[in-house]
């Protein structure tokens, strides 16, 4: 009936929100592309997230029934794969098709809107530079997150970013933080 090449949903990441949407979407899309019906060139991606229109249905009743069965199988496989990567609270509502489900996840978590900004801001507020690791990589991650927030059009003033970063530094750097703050002319 269908070829399932390397689409172990256990190996796919669970969608946790906007913070991992891009990775989740890329990996799930790749898995959906690999799900193909043996009697068709269509993939599960074609019936779920692709922006390309599906081919026109055949007119012959026998061919039409066969094509509808193929598409239904691919839709069921796509829905099962996508849902297997979602926590329960994300799939509580009813979806008419895997395309609706994919679209809803993209709208809720892939669009760089308030949810994205909120989740990124939460990660900044919880950010701490680990004493046991090289701080340069961690600080680069902090700066990248700030850039992601400001790229949405949200305002995150430089002085606020500086204060959040200083508060994330280890306690052993308290004297350095004091020197930085004392030398600042304004906030």
Same domain? For 58 and 90 the reply is: yes
Same domain? For 130 and 146 the reply is: yes
Distances in Å between the alpha carbon of 176 and those of 124, 126, 135? 21, 21, 14
153 alpha carbon, distance to own chain's centre: 19
Question: How many independent structural domains does the chain possess?
Answer: 2
Name residue, tokens 């193909």: 36
**pLDDT (tens digit per residue) in 132-178:** 888 888 888 899 899 989 988 899 999 899 999 999 988 888 988 88
Identify the band that residue 4 occupies on the pLDDT scale cut at 50, 70 and 90.
very low
Same domain? For 9 and 93 the reply is: yes
Same domain? For 6 and 89 the reply is: yes
- Which class for 101: exposed (0-12), middle (13-18), buried (19 or more C-beta within 10 A)? buried
Same domain? For 138 and 161 the reply is: yes
Same domain? For 171 and 106 the reply is: no
**pLDDT (tens digit per residue) in 33-59:** 999 999 999 999 999 988 899 999 999
CB-CB contact of 6 with 79 (8 Å): no
Tokens of 106: 């993209």
- For residue 134, the enclosing domain spans 114-183
Same domain? For 19 and 80 the reply is: yes
Same domain? For 38 and 94 the reply is: yes
CB-CB contact of 143 with 158 (8 Å): no
Dihedral through CA 12, CA 15, CA 19, CA 21, nearest 10?
70
Same domain? For 77 and 159 the reply is: no
Same domain? For 106 and 127 the reply is: no
Of 104, 30, 105, 40, nearest in space to 74 by CA? 40
Residue 111 DSSP SS3: coil
Q: Which of 60, 95, 110 is the last residue of a domain?
A: 110
Same domain? For 178 and 124 the reply is: yes
Rounded Cα–Cα distance for residues 121 and 135 (Å): 20
Q: Which of 93, 110, 127 is the last residue of a domain?
A: 110
Same domain? For 89 and 136 the reply is: no
Q: Which of 110, 134, 156 is the last residue of a domain?
A: 110
Rounded Cα–Cα distance for residues 119 and 123 (Å): 6
**pLDDT (tens digit per residue) in 52-94:** 999 999 999 999 999 999 999 999 999 999 999 999 988 877 8
pTM metric for this prediction: 0.64
């Amino acid at each position: 009936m269908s070829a399932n090449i390397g689409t172990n949903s256990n190996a796919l990441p669970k969608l946790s929100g906007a913070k991992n949407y891009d990775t989740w979407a890329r990996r799930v899309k790749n898995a959906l592309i690999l799900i193909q019906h043996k009697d068709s060139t269509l993939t599960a991606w074609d019936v779920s997230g692709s922006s390309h229109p599906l081919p026109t249905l055949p007119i012959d009743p026998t061919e039409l029934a066969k094509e509808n069965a193929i598409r239904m199988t691919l839709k069921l496989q796509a829905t099962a794969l996508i849902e297997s990567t979602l926590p329960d609270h994300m799939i509580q509502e009813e979806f008419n098709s895997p395309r609706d489900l994919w679209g809803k996840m993209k709208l809720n978590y892939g669009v760089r809107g308030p949810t994205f900004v909120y989740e990124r801001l939460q990660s900044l507020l919880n950010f701490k530079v680990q004493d046991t690791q090289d701080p340069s990589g961690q600080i680069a991650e902090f700066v990248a997150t700030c850039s992601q927030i400001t790229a949405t059009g949200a305002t995150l003033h430089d002085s606020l970013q500086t204060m959040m970063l200083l508060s994330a530094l280890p306690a052993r750097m308290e004297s350095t933080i004091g020197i930085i703050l004392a030398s600042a002319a304004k906030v």
